[in-house]
Structure 1
Amino acid sequence: MTASLARVLTIEEFLELPYIEESPAWEYIDGVAIQKPMPKTRHLLLQMRLLTEINRHSETHTALPELRCTFAGRSVVPDIAVIPWSQIQVNEVGEPEDNFMAAPDWSIEILSPAQKANRVIDNLLHCLKYGCRLGWMLDPDDYSVLIFTPHQEPTVCREGCKLPVLEEVDLELTAQQVFGWLKIN
């Protein structure tokens, strides 16, 4: 079950809350703080493999797990945020700033059994509205990936369907390959 705080908050009040970075992370949507569900084994295996594959196949972008992205009145924490290295703000000593204040180029969500699909879809649509170029919602129970791109209807990929990736990521994957990572031999 997903926890939420009923009190309406400003985004500034939300970002000052001491527990929002605890696991599982909290998100800010329409004035309300909502805690994401705790990921389970299948979720974590898919997340780990996707992070590894995306990072191995791009020099211009990095895939980061659970990166808080605060922009356009929301603060969301995609399971995987793929962002350009050039968009990471650095401090005076050349290290990355802790707060990422933009939409990721590619937002990947892995649906958990306790998660509401419409809430995840709402976050992906918000990301697309404010600059995200690609969104995936993986459903491990259905072995499908719902694909979101700007100004187009969502599409569903299953089995041998080739999954779209950012053009800067030299990676070819099918839904079958991704969900095949769940098979333990």
Structure 2
Amino acid sequence: MAITLNPPITLAEFLQLPETKPGSEFIDGNIYQKSMPQGKHSRLQFKLCNAINQVAEEPKIALAFPELRCSFGERSIIPDVSVFRWERIPFDAAGEFANSFEIYPDWTIEILSAEQNTTKVIRNILHCLKHGTKLGWLIDPNERVILVFLPGQLPLEFIGDEQLPVGEFLSLELTVNQVFNWLKPVG
């Protein structure tokens, strides 16, 4: 659901507003509150961040963040997972991770929830690609499909045991089945 403001506000004004729970995104002058993540969504988000960070954090290659606000190109969005190459991560004066990420992610991952607007989610992925993101995933747990978005190409459909493309900076092998098997309890 969009909150249309009259008169419209700017991105800078939006960023001064208090945060909401769940977070709100600023897209084309409108404010959209994200839906509250549910079980499957949360599990996939957690496992994806974990899998990526397991191979990328210690060697300082990249880092995956869940629900991180990224503000760029006159939008402020909150991808389900944002992956940044290490050299692009903003740090503050104390050498800690910055609170504000005013840059596009290198890889954006969205996990579709039943009540989400698919077009809005795809538009966010396309916005990221337009501004420099090199890889986008749209994970659909109901259909057991992952759509992969690459700059200047049509989306690609991945199912079953197909190997998923990951950022060229990562050494990570995942199939669609492996991702969706995370929805089952271990043992």
Calculate the TM-score normalised by the size of structure 1: 0.94
Q: 2:52 aligns with which of 39, 51, 54?
A: 54
What amino acid maps onto 1:53 in structure 2? Answer: A
Number of paired residues?
181
CA distance in 1, matches of 2:74, 2:80: 19
What is the aligned partner in structure 1 of residue 141 from structure 2?
A: 140
1:112 positional shift = 0.5
CA distance in 1, matches of 2:38, 2:94: 37
What is the aligned partner in structure 2 of residue 37 from structure 1?
A: 35
What amino acid maps onto 1:109 in structure 2? Answer: E
**Residues 9 and 29, structure 2, Cα contact 8 Å, conserved in 1:** yes
What is the aligned partner in structure 2 of residue 106 from structure 1?
A: 107
Question: What is the root-mean-square deviation in Å for CA atoms of aligned residues?
Answer: 1.1
CA distance in 1, matches of 2:94, 2:161: 46
What is the aligned partner in structure 1 of residue 69 from structure 2?
A: 68
What is the aligned partner in structure 1 of residue 156 from structure 2?
A: 155
1:6 positional shift = 1.5
1:168 positional shift = 1.4
Instruction: Please identify runs of 4+ aligned residues in structure 1 that moved more than 4 A.
Output: none
What is the aligned partner in structure 1 of residue 117 from structure 2?
A: 116
Calculate the TM-score normalised by the size of structure 2: 0.93
CA distance in 2, matches of 1:97, 1:46: 25
CA distance in 1, matches of 2:53, 2:170: 8
Gaps of 5+ in 1: none
